[in-house]
C-alpha cells in the first residue's frame, strides 16, 4: 500500500517564470533538436538493421571517435519517444507525431516472430542474443522502449508500440525466471524494473509487476548469473571488460538487494534500481525492500552526495568510490545520475511523506539535473563538475546521448513532482507558479499557486475544492527556510507548531478561495561540508533557497581559483533582470592572493597579502551558458 501517489504532470499547469521557461525551451527546442541529432548521428539508421552499420556521425567536440552502432541505442530511441510523448501530452503536434509513428512502424517491422526486439543483436549477431546480460543492455533497452511506448500511448491513445513491447515482454517473461528451462538472468543495467511498474500501473496486469519483482529478487543470487552466462558463452567471468572496477558492485549485483546497505558502483544503475525497489516496496507493501531503500538513502546522502545533488565522483566506473570522496574538478556527476536520484527521491517521498526526501529531490532537480541542459536547450553536460579550469564545455551531442533525452523527459514531466496525493491529504512538495487540478478520494480540488519561486520565497496558494468536507493540505517548509511564516486568509499560522516532518500541515474544511500566504525566507547562506570531505575543507558553497551557486569567470575579474571569501563577508543579493531573463546573483567582498606584489622570489618569510576584490556568484545550473571560463562551487574561505 502506497502512502502517497504522484500526480500526473498533465494535471499541473506551470505558470511561474522558472519552470515555464525551462518547459517551453524543452518543448520547442530540445525535443525537436534531439530528433535531428538522432538522425544526424546515425542512431535512427540503426532501425534499418544494416550490417555492417554506417559509421557514427556525431558532431562532437574533438571530432568523430570512430564509434558505430552502439548496443544502447534502442534506449536512446525509447527515451526520445518518451520525451516526445510528454511533449505531445502538453500539446498535440502532427509533425512530431508523424516522426514517432515512423519510428514505431520500423520497430514493429523489426520485431521478430517470437517477440524479440533489439536493434544491435538483430542487426549484427542475432545468434548471440541473451548471452550477455551483464554488458549488452538488452533489458535496459527494453525498459526504455517500454517507457516510450507508455508515454506515447498516454499522449495519443496509439497502442502500436505498446503492443510491440507487451509482446516483447511476453518473450522476456518466457525467457527469464525461476521455472524449468528459464534463464535466471537479470539486467546488467537496471531500468526495465521501474518501467514494468509503470506498465503495471497503466494496465493493472499483475504479470508486469511480477516480472519487475523477479528481476529485483533474483539480483545478486548465487551462483552468480553473470558468471554462468560468461562461462556459457566461453568467456572468462573474471574478464569484466565493460567493468572498470571489475566486480559485481559495478552493477549492484554483489549481493541480494535486500542485503545492500552501501551505495556502490555505476551511479545511474544504482539509482534506477533503488527507484524500482521503492516502487515495489509500495506496490507489494514490502518492508524489507523499503528498509533497504532507507539504508541506501541514508548511506548515499550522508557519505556520497555532492552539494549540488550530483552522484558518482569517478569517470572510471561512472559511479561511486569511497565515503567522502567527492573531488570537484574531476567530479563525474552524470546528469542521468541526478535525474535517477530525483526519480528515487520522489518514490521515497511517496512512501513516507518526509520533507527530507523532497528537500533532496528539489536539490538534485534544480542543481545537478538542470545544469545538464544549456539555457538554449540544445547543449549538454554529461558530466556536471563542481569546478573547472575552463576546459569543461557543453557538448552539442554525445557518443552516449543518454543524458540528453533524460533531461528532456524529466523537464517535460516536471509538473508531476510538485504534488503528492495521499489519504485525505494533498502535499505540495515543490513551489513555483502553477495551477493544478487534483483528485482526492474522487473529489476534484483545484490548487492555484502564484509565486516567482525560486527567485522569491513568497508563495500564495489558493484552494478551490469541489464540494465540502475536511482534508489536509501539507505545504513543504524547506530546511533552509528557518523563519518561514504563513497566513491563512490573512490570519497568522503557527508554522513551527504545525509543521510535521517538514510539512506545514493544515486540516480544515477548505472553502473555495481560501488563501495561504507562505513566506519562505531565502537569505543567501553558506554551506560547509563535513571535514571528512577533504577536498571541501576550508571552503564554503553559497546557496539561496534551493539553488546552489557558483563563481563563474565571466562574472569575476579575479581568476576564480584565486578567490578567497572572508568568513564574515556579507553576501548581497542582486536581482539581475538582464541576465538569463532574470536571476538573483550573490555578490560579496572577497580577496585574492594572486594580485600580491610578490616579485620573482619563489619563497620568502612574509606571507602573501591578499588584495581586495569582488566575488559574484550565479546559480550553478546556469553556468557555461556564456563565454567559456573557469567555475567553482566550493570557494576557499579566508
> Which residue of the set 336, 402, 403, 550 is catalytic?
402
In the list 57, 526, 576, 626, the residue contacting a second copy (rule: CB under 8 A) is 526
Q: Which is nearer to a second copy, 238 or 567 (CB)?
A: 567
- Count other C-beta atoms under 10 Å from residue 324's C-beta: 17
Question: Is 238 one of the binding residues for a second copy (CB under 8 A)?
Answer: no
List the one residue from 132, 301, 346, 374 that touches a second copy (CB under 8 A): 301
3-class secondary structure, 551: strand
Q: Which of 48, 235, 294, 637 binds a second copy (CB under 8 A)?
A: 637
User: Containing H/E element for 422?
Assistant: strand 419-422
Identify which of 32, 156, 58 has the alpha carbon closest to the alpha carbon of residue 104: 156
User: Taking the complex as a whole, how short is the minimal distance between the CB of residue 505 and a second copy, in angstroms?
Assistant: 25
Q: How far is the CB of 162 from a second copy (least distance, A)?
A: 42
**Burial category of 92 from C-beta neighbours within 10 Å (exposed 0-12, middle 13-18, buried 19 and up):** exposed
623 cis-preceded (ω within 30 degrees of 0): no
Grid cell 538542470 in the structure block, residue: 370
Q: Does 321 bind a second copy (CB under 8 A)?
A: no
- Could you tell me how many residues of this chain bind a second copy (CB under 8 A)? 38
Of 327 and 416, which has the nearer Cβ to a second copy? 327
Q: Are 386 and 307 in contact (CB under 8 A)?
A: yes
Q: Do 410 and 339 meet the contact criterion of CB atoms below 8 Å apart? A: yes
Q: Is 11 in the site for a second copy (CB under 8 A)?
A: no
Q: Which of 318, 383, 449, 552 is catalytic?
A: 318
DSSP H or E run through 491 = strand 491-493
| Half-sphere exposure (Cβ direction) of 416: Cα atoms closer than 13 Å | 20
Residue 112 in contact with a second copy, rule: CB under 8 A: no
Which one of the spans 189-197, 330-338, 413-421, 530-538 is the region binding a second copy (CB under 8 A)? 530-538
**318 catalytically annotated:** yes
> What are the residues whose beta carbons fall under 8 Å from the beta carbon of 26, sequence distance 6 or more?
83, 87, 373, 377, 407, 408, 411, 412
Strands (E) located in 138-257: none
Q: Name residues contacting a second copy, limited to 477-516 (CB under 8 A).
A: 480
**Cβ-based nearer residue to a second copy, 533 or 547:** 533
Q: Which is nearer to a second copy, 239 or 606 (CB)?
A: 606
Does position 607 interact with a second copy (CB under 8 A)? The reply is yes
603 touching a second copy, by CB under 8 A: yes
Report the nearest approach of a second copy to the CB of residue 534 (Å). 7
The phi, psi pair for 238, rounded to 5°, reads -75, -15
Site for a second copy contains 261 (CB under 8 A): no
C-alpha cell at 598: 610578490
Residue of 134, 103, 100 lying closest to 119 (CA atoms):
103
> Using alpha carbons only, how large is the chain's radius of gyration in Å?
25
402 tagged catalytic: yes
Instruction: Please state the closest distance from residue 357 (CB atom) to a second copy, in A.
Output: 15
Q: Is 295 near a second copy (CB under 8 A)?
A: no
State whether residue 183 is helix, strand or coil.
strand
Q: How far is the CB of 274 from a second copy (least distance, A)?
A: 18
Contact window for a second copy (CB under 8 A) among 66-74, 163-171, 375-383, 538-546: 538-546
Q: By CB under 8 A, name the one of 235, 354, 450, 596 that touches a second copy.
A: 596
- Residue 523 as a binder of a second copy (CB under 8 A): the answer is no
User: What is the edge-to-edge ordering of all strands in the sheet holding 443-451?
Assistant: 12-14, 434-440, 443-451, 458-465, 514-519, 485-488, 491-493
Q: Which three cell numbers stand for residue 579?
A: 541576465
How far is Cα 623 from Cα 431, in angstroms, rounded to an integer? 23
Contact string (CB under 8 A) for a second copy, positions 549-568, x = contact: ------------xx----x-
- Report the alpha-carbon distance of residue 245 to residue 224 in Å, rounded: 17
Angle (nearest 5°) at CA 276 between 38 and 505? 110
486 beta partners: 493, 518
Span near a second copy by CB under 8 A; candidates 92-100, 160-168, 202-210, 297-305: 297-305
Q: Is 527 in the site for a second copy (CB under 8 A)?
A: yes
Q: What angle do CA 82, 84, 86 make, to 5 degrees?
A: 70
Nearer to a second copy, 438 or 542 (CB): 542
Stretch that binds a second copy, among 409-417, 505-513, 534-542, 612-620 (CB under 8 A): 534-542
Binding status of residue 194 toward a second copy by CB under 8 A: no
Min dist. Cβ of residue 273 to a second copy (A): 22
Catalytic residues: 318, 402
Q: Which residues bind a second copy (CB under 8 A)?
A: 301-303, 305, 307, 480, 525-534, 537-538, 540-541, 561-562, 567, 593-594, 596, 598, 600-608, 636-637
Amino acid at each position: 500500500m502506497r502512502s502517497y501517489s504522484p500526480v500526473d504532470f498533465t494535471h499541473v499547469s506551470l505558470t511561474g517564470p522558472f519552470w515555464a521557461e525551462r518547459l517551453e525551451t524543452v518543448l520547442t527546442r530540445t525535443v525537436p533538436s534531439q530528433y535531428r541529432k538522432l538522425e544526424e548521428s546515425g542512431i535512427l539508421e540503426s532501425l534499418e538493421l544494416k550490417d555492417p552499420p554506417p559509421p557514427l556521425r556525431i558532431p562532437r567536440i574533438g571530432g568523430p571517435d570512430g564509434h558505430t552502432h552502439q548496443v544502447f541505442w534502442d534506449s536512446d530511441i525509447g527515451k526520445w519517444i518518451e520525451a516526445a510523448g510528454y511533449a505531445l501530452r502538453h500539446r498535440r503536434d502532427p509533425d512530431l507525431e508523424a516522426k514517432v509513428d515512423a519510428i514505431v512502424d520500423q520497430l514493429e517491422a523489426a520485431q521478430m516472430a517470437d517477440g524479440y526486439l533489439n536493434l544491435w543483436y538483430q542487426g549484427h549477431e542475432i545468434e548471440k542474443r541473451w548471452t550477455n546480460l551483464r554488458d549488452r543492455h538488452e533489458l535496459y533497452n527494453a525498459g526504455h522502449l517500454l517507457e516510450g511506448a507508455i508515454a506515447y500511448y498516454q499522449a495519443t491513445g496509439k497502442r502500436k508500440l505498446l503492443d510491440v513491447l507487451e509482446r516483447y515482454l511476453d518473450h522476456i517473461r518466457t525467457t527469464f525466471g525461476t521455472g524449468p528451462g528459464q534463464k535466471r538472468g537479470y539486467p546488467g543495467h537496471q531500468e526495465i524494473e521501474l518501467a514494468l511498474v509503470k506498465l503495471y500501473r497503466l494496465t493493472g496486469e499483475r504479470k508486469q509487476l511480477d516480472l519487475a519483482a523477479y528481476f529485483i529478487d533474483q539480483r545478486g543470487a548465487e551462483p552468480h548469473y553473470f558468471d554462468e552466462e560468461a562461462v556459457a558463452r566461453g568467456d572468462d567471468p573474471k574478464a569484466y571488460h565493460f567493468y572498470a572496477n571489475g566486480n559485481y558492485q559495478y552493477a549492484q549485483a554483489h549481493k541480494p538487494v535486500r542485503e545492500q546497505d552501501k551505495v556502490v558502483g555505476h551511479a545511474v544503475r544504482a539509482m534506477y534500481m533503488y527507484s524500482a525497489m521503492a516502487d515495489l516496496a509500495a506496490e507489494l507493501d514490502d518492508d524489507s525492500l523499503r528498509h533497504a531503500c532507507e539504508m541506501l538513502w541514508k548511506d548515499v546522502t550522508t557519505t556520497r552526495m555532492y552539494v549540488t545533488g550530483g552522484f558518482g565522483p569517478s569517470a572510471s566506473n561512472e559511479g561511486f568510490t569511497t565515503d567522502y570522496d567527492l573531488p570537484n574538478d574531476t567530479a563525474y556527476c552524470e546528469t542521468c545520475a541526478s535525474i535517477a536520484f530525483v526519480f528515487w527521491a520522489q518514490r521515497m517521498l511517496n512512501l513516507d511523506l518526509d520533507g527530507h526526501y523532497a528537500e533532496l529531490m528539489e536539490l538534485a532537480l534544480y542543481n545537478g539535473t538542470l545544469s545538464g541542459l544549456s539555457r538554449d536547450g540544445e547543449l549538454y553536460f554529461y558530466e556536471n563538475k563542481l569546478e573547472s579550469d575552463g576546459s569543461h564545455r557543453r557538448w552539442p551531442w554525445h557518443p552516449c546521448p543518454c543524458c540528453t533525452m533524460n533531461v528532456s523527459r524529466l523537464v517535460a514531466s516536471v509538473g508531476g513532482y510538485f504534488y503528492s496525493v495521499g489519504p485525505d491529504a494533498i502535499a505540495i512538495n515543490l513551489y513555483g507558479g502553477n495551477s493544478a487540478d487534483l483528485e482526492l478520494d474522487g473529489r476534484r480540488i483545484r490548487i492555484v499557486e502564484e509565486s516567482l519561486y525560486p527567485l522569491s520565497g513568497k508563495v500564495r496558494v489558493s484552494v478551490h475544492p469541489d464540494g465540502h468536507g475536511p482534508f489536509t493540505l501539507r505545504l513543504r517548509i524547506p530546511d533552509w527556510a528557518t523563519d518561514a511564516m504563513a497566513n491563512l486568509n490573512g490570519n497568522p499560522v503557527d508554522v513551527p507548531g504545525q509543521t510535521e516532518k517538514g510539512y506545514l500541515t493544515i486540516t480544515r474544511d477548505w472553502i473555495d478561495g481560501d488563501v495561504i500566504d507562505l513566506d519562505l525566507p531565502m537569505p543567501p547562506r553558506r554551506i560547509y561540508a563535513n571535514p571528512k570531505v577533504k577536498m571541501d575543507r576550508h571552503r564554503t558553497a553559497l546557496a539561496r533557497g534551493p539553488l546552489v551557486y557558483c563563481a563563474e569567470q565571466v562574472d569575476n575579474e579575479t581568476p576564480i581559483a584565486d578567490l578567497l571569501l572572508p568568513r564574515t563577508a556579507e553576501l548581497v543579493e542582486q536581482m539581475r533582470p538582464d541576465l538569463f531573463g532574470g536571476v538573483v546573483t550573490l555578490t560579496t567582498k572577497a580577496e585574492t592572493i594572486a594580485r600580491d606584489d610578490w616579485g620573482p622570489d619563489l619563497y620568502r618569510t612574509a606571507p602573501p597579502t591578499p588584495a581586495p576584490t569582488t566575488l559574484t556568484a550565479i546559480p550553478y545550473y546556469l553556468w557555461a551558458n556564456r563565454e567559456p571560463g573557469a567555475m567553482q562551487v566550493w570557494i576557499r574561505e579566508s
